[in-house]
Amino acid sequence: MSGSFKERLSFDSATGALFDQSRRYMMIRPDALMGIFKRLPPDQRMAALQAFAESIAEQGGDSARAYVDMGGTGSKLLDVIAATAPELGWGIWQFNIGMDRFTLSVRNSPFAAGFGPSDHPVCAPIIGMFGAVTSIVAGKPMQAREIACAAMGAEYCQFESTPRASTP
C-alpha cells in the first residue's frame, strides 16, 4: 500500500475535486445523505437501501481490488479496510474471521447517526462494502447482513457475512 487513504487523498482546487488516485470522492453530511431514505415510504426505502448496498458493493469492491493490487491480499485486505474506514469517516471497524463466517463490528456508524432512531437497520453501505471485501478474501460470493444497528438502539452496529446460497 502506498500510504494511508488520508495520505493518498488529493484535493484539486482548480477542478473542485477530491481523488484517491483515479477514484473521485466527495464529502456529504450523513444526515443529508440518509435523509433520502427517511423521506421514502417503507417499501421504497428498503428497496433504496438495498440498491445503495449493491452500488457500494460494486464501487467499493472496485476500490478494494485496487488495494489488493497495491499488496493488500487475504486478511491483510481486511486490515487495510479497517484502517481506511475511519479515514473516510465511516466509524471504527473491527473484523473477525471465522470458518465461512466473518463478522464486523462498527462503532460510530455515520449512517446510523445520520438516519437517527429506526425500527430497521440502516447501514446499507457497510453491508455492501463488507460483502464485497469478504467475497474477495473468501474467494467466493459472500452475503453480508446487518444483525444489530445503533439506529435501533444497539451499542454499536454488527454485521455477518456467510457464503451466498448457490442458486440451482
Q: How far is the CB of 10 from Zn ion (least distance, A)?
A: 30
Sole binder of Zn ion in the list 34, 104, 123, 132 (CB under 5 A): 123
C-beta of 108 vs 162, nearer to Zn ion? 108
For the chain, list the strands marked E by DSSP: 9-12, 17-20, 23-25, 92-97, 102-107, 142-148, 157-163
String of b and e for 87-100 (b: at least 16 CB within 10 Å)?
ebebbebebeeeee
Q: At 26, give phi and psi (nearest 5°).
A: -150, 160
Q: Is 85 in the site for Zn ion (CB under 5 A)?
A: no
Q: Which string of x and - marks every residue 126-155 that binds Zn ion (by CB under 5 A)?
A: -----------------------x------
Q: How far is the CB of 92 from Zn ion (least distance, A)?
A: 13
DSSP string, 30-76: HHHHHHHHHHS-HHHHHHHHHHHHHHHHHHHHHHHHHHHHTT--THH
Stretch that binds Zn ion, among 4-12, 25-33, 39-47, 101-109 (CB under 5 A): 101-109
C-beta of 67 vs 95, nearer to Zn ion? 95
C-beta of 67 vs 122, nearer to Zn ion? 122
Q: Which residues of this chain interact with Zn ion, rule CB under 5 A?
A: 109, 112, 123, 149, 157
